[in-house]
Structure 1
Amino acid sequence: MLTPILAYLLSVLLLCRIAFSQYSSDQCSWRGSGLTHEGHARDVEQVYLRCSQGSLEWLYPTGAIIVNMRPNTLSSAASRLSVCIKPSANSHGANIYLDRAGKLRLLLPEKEQALGKVTCFSIQEGALFIEAIPHRDISRRITSFQYELVSERTTSGVDPRLSSAPCQPCSDAEVLLTVCTSDFVARGTILGVEQEEEQSTVTVAIAHLYKQKMQVFASGGVRARRWMGQVRIPRQCGVKPGPGEEEFLFTGSIRFGEAWVGCAPRYKDFLRLYREAEQKGTNPCFVDTD
């Protein structure tokens, strides 16, 4: 026979175990369930994410959650970051708002999330307020998305609406710096351009691959002796193949597994800039131009 104290302790441990099983969280990703407060439909939970990329998965959404996103290091550059989110194809059950000082702005309605379109906003605009839509049957409803913190220039690639001039050419200083900081850097030519609704997919042949964070460019095999790949550019930039075999220096970032171009100067223009900076000793990093 259990004593009252022992019975109480066992019940507390059981409740803690159930609550722990409903939520899984680290600084990068969060996974939770609305079943923990199903009887309290007006409950609001705070979620904190501190990584440059991660994911959120809210099963059986009820009530609401507030998602606070911040980088895990403090710097002046943090205020110039933006948050990009990409809903999964089966995301539904809640509307996603931006919450700034208690004022809500609809960011992603439930019906648009299944499209998987990337949406971005400045990190200064506030937190995400995700509000469940009341349903009698919540058993098949999951709200989920991936997120990334990105700089202003690369954000204009995945969401051109954030920039008034997403196709503005990079300055000389930006060209030299982006070679050092980009996820991929390659010299090559444009083979073809496929126009889509909001972006252009550019097929390129690579003569020299300097670096790539992910498998953007793949080898065409021993006989081909060159690398091939695809990069993306906002459609309004009007990119098209240049005359003959004109070479460009392609640089940019990987966003949700896709390569987005940041700066893409003509290689001969980059070479001139690089050599001038080399003579002055102002190059931010070394590039093998031989």
Structure 2
Amino acid sequence: MTNMLVYFLGFLLLVFGRCRTSLGQYSSDQCSWKGSGLTHEGHTRDVEQVYLRCSQGSLEWLYPTGAIIVNLRPNTFSPAASRLSVCVKPAPESSGTNVYLDLNGWLRPLLREHEQAAGLVRCFGILEGALFIEAIPRADISRRVTAFQYELVSDELTGDRPSPAEACHLCNEDQLLLAVCTKDFVARGTVTSVREDTKENRTSINVDIHRLYRQKTQVFVPGGPRARRWSGSITMPRECALKVSDDDILFTGTLRFGEARMGCATRYGDFLRWYRRAQRLGTNPCHLDTD
């Protein structure tokens, strides 16, 4: 009886040793993680848990073997946080894996290996599941590295890309005044050039900024055509591109992976008229120095 018990326990250890879940490797700041598939040794079916708890960070997995489950969560989870989305941007050299969304064991494809190499950005709701990153079995893994950046963004950015009708809708008065208070950047200037990117199906406009009200990070840099100016670029869907013009435009938008994305924009004269009317009525959501 004792021998049978020993053999049974040995069999269980063999089975679970071939497909096991190991403890996560925590980074010092819980924002970024770097690991290696070589730690799995011969256990090519190991699944490792990773926990990242920042609004943005990165992951780098060298020599991928087995799989890792990446749990992305804000430090404080609340009803508002449940409406967040996660956007993932692979590095150009990312390879060796396929990425899925894992919700209670159900896997949904998110980024295939060839899509990672193309640098495609994918977004999903934070409650849609964790990232399940599975290594593609290969005899030689020495040149394989899976790497990406991630950001937690507001629910307005959920999905890969809005339809042209949604992306290019004109902001009304209330939406524009709110955008001035809440967006990552607010600037006043002109469009100096337009560049189309057919591969990414988007357009970048170069802008000359002569009044910078706010920017979350330094997207617009000093050194425009004239003194005390800033310059930079803003991206948007190709269908929404603005034309080169001397018109004074108020630009607002969000930042994703250090890139400015267009939000609400209108002629500055129209904004000024709306803003002053809201001031008289006491309905403007925040103050902006228009002097």
Q: TM-score range by the shorter chain?
A: 0.7 to 0.9
Hey, what's the Cα distance between the residues in 1 that align with 2:269 and 2:252?
15
Output the amino acid matched with 2:242: V
| Contact 2:208 2:224 survives alignment (8 Å) | no
Residue of structure 1 equivalent to 2:265: 264
Secondary structure of the equivalent of 2:34?
strand
Task: Determine if contact 2:100/2:107 at 8 Å carries over to the other structure.
Answer: yes
Q: Deviations along 1:64-115, whole A, 9 cap, x unmatched?
A: 1111112222233222221111111211111111112222121111122122
Residues in 2 aligned to 1:256 and 1:131: alpha-carbon distance in whole angstroms: 24
Q: 1:136 to 1:164 in 2, by over 3 A?
A: farther
Specify which of 206, 215, 220 is matched with residue 212 of structure 1: 215
1:20-169 to structure 2, matched below 5 A, reads 24=27, 26-154=29-157, 159-161=160-162, 165-169=166-170
Going from structure 1 to structure 2, the CA distance change for 1:224 and 1:180 (only over 3 Å counts) comes to: same
Residue 26 of structure 2 contacts residue 51 of structure 2 at CA under 8 Å; is this kept in 1? no
* TM-score after normalising by structure 2: 0.83
- Rounded to whole Å, the distance in 2 between the matches of 1:154 and 1:115 is 21
- CA drift of 1:184 comes to 1.5
* Separation of aligned partners in 2, 1:288 and 1:67: 43
Counterparts of 1:1-12 in structure 2 under 5 Å? none
- Residues 222/194 of structure 1: CA separation in 2 closer, same or farther (3 Å cut): closer
Q: Is the 8 A contact 2:202 2:236 kept in 1?
A: yes
Q: CA offset at residue 249 of structure 1?
A: 0.8
Amino acid at match of 1:240: K
2:12: which partner in 1? none
Which stretch of structure 1 is more off in the superposition, 30-39 or 84-93? 30-39
- Once structures 1 and 2 are overlaid, which stretch shifts more, 22-31 or 143-152? 22-31
2-structure distance, mates of 1:73, 1:163: 34
Does the residue aligned with 2:42 lie in a helix, a strand or coil? coil
C-alpha distance in structure 2 between counterparts of 1:206 and 1:220, whole Å: 10
Aligned: 1:237 with 2:247: no
Q: Which residue in the other structure is 1:15 paired with?
A: none
Distance in 1 separating the partners of 2:29 and 2:228: 44
Residue 87 to residue 32, structure 1, CA distance change in 2 (3 Å): same
Amino acid of the residue matched to residue 36 of structure 1?
Answer: T
Q: In 1, Cα distance between the equivalents of 2:131 and 2:151? A: 14
**Unaligned regions of 5+ residues in structure 2, if any?**
1-21
Superposed counterparts of 1:193-204, under 5 Å: 193-197=194-198, 198-204=201-207
Q: 2:197 corresponds to which letter in structure 1?
A: E
Q: Cα 1:39–1:24, aligned 2, differ >3 Å: closer, same or farther?
A: farther
Any conservation in 2 of the 1:154–1:253 contact (CA below 8 Å)?
A: no
**Structure 1 regions of 5+ residues with no counterpart?**
1-18
Describe the SS at the equivalent of 2:280.
helix
Post-superposition CA distance 1:148-172 (Å, at most 9, x none): 011133557xx42489712222343
In structure 1, what is the Cα distance between the partners aligned to 2:29 and 2:142?
A: 25
2-structure distance, mates of 1:282, 1:267: 19
SS at 1:265 equivalent: strand
Provide Cα deviations, 1:261-286, integer angstroms capped at 9, x if missing partner. Answer: 11112212211221122122232221
Q: SS of 2:166's equivalent?
A: coil
Q: In the alignment, residue 287 of structure 2 is paired with which amino acid?
A: F
Question: How many aligned residue pairs are there?
Answer: 267
Task: Work out whether residues 94 and 110 of structure 1, in 8 Å CA contact, stay in contact via their aligned partners in 2.
Answer: yes
Alignment of 1:13-24 (within 5 A): 24=27
Distance 2:173 2:80 in 1: 20
Between the aligned residues of both structures, percent identity stands at 64
Aligned counterpart, 1:188 = 189
Alpha-carbon spacing, 1:94–1:174, altered in 2? closer, same or farther (3 Å): same
Distance 1:223 1:187, change over 3 A: closer
CA contact (8 A) 1:41 1:63 kept: yes
